[in-house]
Structure 1
Amino acid sequence: MNSHAVRLESAGAAVTVVSAEQAVTDWSARYFGPWWKAGKVSPQDVCAGPLVIAEVDPGRYADEALAVTQAPHRSVVYAKAQTLLTEDITARLIRAVSPEQALAYRSEPEVGSLLILGRGTEPVATAAARLAREVMRGLLLRDGWAVLHASAVVKDGRTVLTFGGKGAGKTTTALALAARHGGGLLANDRVFVRPNDGGGVDVLPWPSAAALGLGLLHALGWDEIARERLEAGEALHPTQDRRVTEALLAGRAEPLREGGKEMKVQVFPDQFLTWFGVPLATEGEAAALVFPRIEPGAAPAVQETGRTVDDGDFMSGRTEDRYPDIFGLARVDGGGTEEARHAVAQRLAELPHHSVVLGWDVAANADFLAEVTGCA
């Protein structure tokens, strides 16, 4: 049987995704793209490093699922799905099955091998990309990196980091700068960070799909582009609610909400460049920190709040409730060691800090932020 392989690389760490289904490896190549230098390799050349093997095989999935359910197991929630988990300490093997998603897993953390079996191409492809990212995360964390909850834009090697919880304006700030002032988008929600030998902090991307509100998409002038692409038969990320797609096609920009939560447009990483003309950056060095607050009708302005980076800005095992490390891929805290986080926080404290209030005028916000952060 012919196999296909895609290798992901960042900061000296690498993981390879292998599958008999080209659609599975194509998904990873698209998802990680330039951010993690994803490139096709010959399966014959895959001889070292962690492997994620992902196969669409209903028969093998059924056998693996039966083996897990017949063994002593516990129930956990992983990727929002009930998952049955069993561990063979002697064989150093972790096995799991998610009946709802029709996915089965075999993880051998010590040898760097993870097998994914499933009934359908899209669930297997999605799981392969998600777990390849988790393998890479483990490699980077064990090499001294930490994970910050921040967006990042790079221009001329200088990285602007933007902090805040949901709705604070991290994504708005990053995309405004990238779209209007020629910056490369490094990440829209999380970044890897590590002190460098020059006294600064290196920054790497955390590849992920981006959730953009309909209002933001309209303010950026991207809603018409998205509608034209959808009408031409292209698609956004499959996690997007069909009602959002219908709103885009109908030319509506008002927010859609369900249960008080806004339903957003889900953008593949590669679509930032191919649809909207925003390049993706692969690395940078932290140069400025921005702490935004969105206030309707406000004119962009600097505020004196004394805000700086604290423990709550770092991701941790406690905050990874959606993807807990049940397969032993990280083997350290999900946000990095305490020493790594402390060292990064100390370095970042020495950089310029900008607490700002922003309105809904994306162009005005972008010009103001470029001037404040030195990205003009």
Structure 2
Amino acid sequence: MHTRISAAGQAVTVTSVTPAVCKWAARYFGVSWDATCSDGTSCLGAAHGPLVDADVDAGALSQLTRYILDHPYRTAAHAGATMLYRYDDEDGTVSAAQPGLDLACHYQPGPRQLHIVGGEEEVVAAAGARFAREMVRAGLQRDGWQILCAAAVVRDGEAVLIPGPGGAGKTACALLLAGAGWRLLAHDRVFVRAEEGRVRLLPWPGAVSVGLGLLDALGMYEGVRARFLGGGQLHPTQRPEVTEALTRGSRAPVRYGPRELKARFFPDQLRSWLGVETAVGGWATSVVFPKVAPDEVPGVLGAGRGVSRDDFVTALTEDRYPDVLGLLGHDPDGPARRETLRSVLAGLPSYDICLGQGASANTRLLTEVTGLS
């Protein structure tokens, strides 16, 4: 079985003898990109571009992990788990293992083929989708696309871009606007490219994180909990503390130190669980920079601060998915492209805003600054 994934002219094929692996990829990407799951292998071969082959194979997993452990290797944190990896100077391939996940992979950069083996079906399926996304990302990068740490909503092709670091209120702004008639394009990261003096947006497919307090404020908590207690499955990367809170019916934010742990949704659960309509592209027409201050009155603080270099995610600044396999390669034109994007975005209407207490007051503020009302 295989799933063909494509976005903006770039594509990758995921293959597996385990149907769930290809079905996972189709589900994961089908909301934002084109993803077609089919039986057979008729589309395979070097002429069809990058390939991810992912299977449950305990023997191959043990053999590849042993190979890495028996040779000098490096370590990195990747997708929340320790990764051991080594480069083979003789053939240029890269091998990696994540013993904590019972997962290993081998990448051949010449034909752009990645082979993944693991001990559990769900872990293999998630890894296959994750690395397939990185391969598409590599092609998009070559075509000039950059990643901005931002949420985005779209209406009639026009997009509100909402940049900011974690905790700034990006997801809250996006979901409030989605409830007011916009379509959600991105909740945390978004691909951006300058085209003829405008900035085009493309989704970054991924699990959607929403805090329990925000779900409650938006009136979504009871529906989510009912589906969960009825046997619905949320994304497997959701922390057990959040699962326990949902089971108990707690609406209070769940924290691990300063970090808030959030409910994690599959992309298609945006619509089926949260009632949020999605978009697959748009053009930036305004920029909103939020901050969250629950004790303050929602309001506009002034003209937007402007998109900074730190708002972009590059191979050098990537913290979740460092490019240890060398899938992305060097992006020599990246700095110049990001400066062009910053310049174009600086010419759009831009606002610094404060989100306070009360979903309706925050929604009124957002609809005023985005021109919906």
Indicate the TM-score class for this superposition, using the shorter chain for normalisation: over 0.9
Closer/same/farther in 2, CA of residues 75 and 262 from structure 1, 3 Å limit: closer
Question: Hey, what does 1:279 align to over in structure 2?
Answer: 277
SS at structure 2 position matched to 1:238? coil
Q: How does 1:1-376 map to 2 (within 5 A)?
A: 4-42=1-39, 43-47=41-45, 48-179=48-179, 181-197=180-196, 199-304=197-302, 306-333=304-331, 337-376=334-373
Alpha-carbon distance in 2 for matches of 1:237, 1:360 = 29
Alpha-carbon distance in 1 for matches of 2:296, 2:15 = 50
Output the amino acid matched with 2:194.
P
Output the amino acid matched with 2:189.
R
Alpha-carbon distance in 2 for matches of 1:375, 1:8 = 34
**How far is the alpha carbon of 1:374 from its aligned partner?**
2.1
1:299-355 CA-to-partner distances (Å, cap 9, x unmatched) read 322112551111111112332133211111100259x71121111111111111011
1:183-224 CA-to-partner distances (Å, cap 9, x unmatched) read 111111111100113x20100011111221111000111111
Closer/same/farther in 2, CA of residues 321 and 372 from structure 1, 3 Å limit: closer
Output the amino acid matched with 1:230.
F
Alpha-carbon distance in 2 for matches of 1:176, 1:123 = 33
Give aligned-pair identity as a percent. Answer: 44
Structure 1 consecutive aligned stretches of length 4 or more whose deviation exceeds 3 Å: none
Output the amino acid matched with 2:183.
G
TM-score normalised by the chain length of structure 1: 0.94
* Structure 1 stretch displaced more, 160-169 or 48-57: 160-169
1:111-134 CA-to-partner distances (Å, cap 9, x unmatched) read 211110111111111111111111
* Structure 1 stretch displaced more, 187-196 or 21-30: 21-30
Q: Which runs of 5+ in 2 are unaligned?
A: none
Mapped contact 2:303–2:351 kept (Cα < 8 A): no
Alignment root-mean-square deviation, CA: 1.7
**How far is the alpha carbon of 1:41 from its aligned partner?**
3.2
1:209-248 CA-to-partner distances (Å, cap 9, x unmatched) read 1221111000111111111111211111112122322322
1:154-205 CA-to-partner distances (Å, cap 9, x unmatched) read 11101101122222111100010012x22111111111100113x2010001
Alpha-carbon distance in 1 for matches of 2:57, 2:324 = 23
SS at structure 1 position matched to 2:313? coil
Alpha-carbon distance in 1 for matches of 2:59, 2:338 = 45
SS at structure 1 position matched to 2:101? coil
Alpha-carbon distance in 2 for matches of 1:226, 1:330 = 37
Output the amino acid matched with 1:185.
L
Output the amino acid matched with 1:192.
F
Mapped contact 1:273–1:279 kept (Cα < 8 A): yes
1:84-127 CA-to-partner distances (Å, cap 9, x unmatched) read 22222332211122222111111112321111011111111111
Alpha-carbon distance in 1 for matches of 2:289, 2:324 = 34
Mapped contact 2:31–2:267 kept (Cα < 8 A): no
Mapped contact 1:155–1:375 kept (Cα < 8 A): no
Mapped contact 1:77–1:83 kept (Cα < 8 A): yes
Alpha-carbon distance in 2 for matches of 1:96, 1:265 = 29
**How far is the alpha carbon of 1:83 from its aligned partner?**
2.5
Mapped contact 2:7–2:34 kept (Cα < 8 A): yes
Alpha-carbon distance in 2 for matches of 1:73, 1:251 = 45
Mapped contact 1:134–1:330 kept (Cα < 8 A): yes
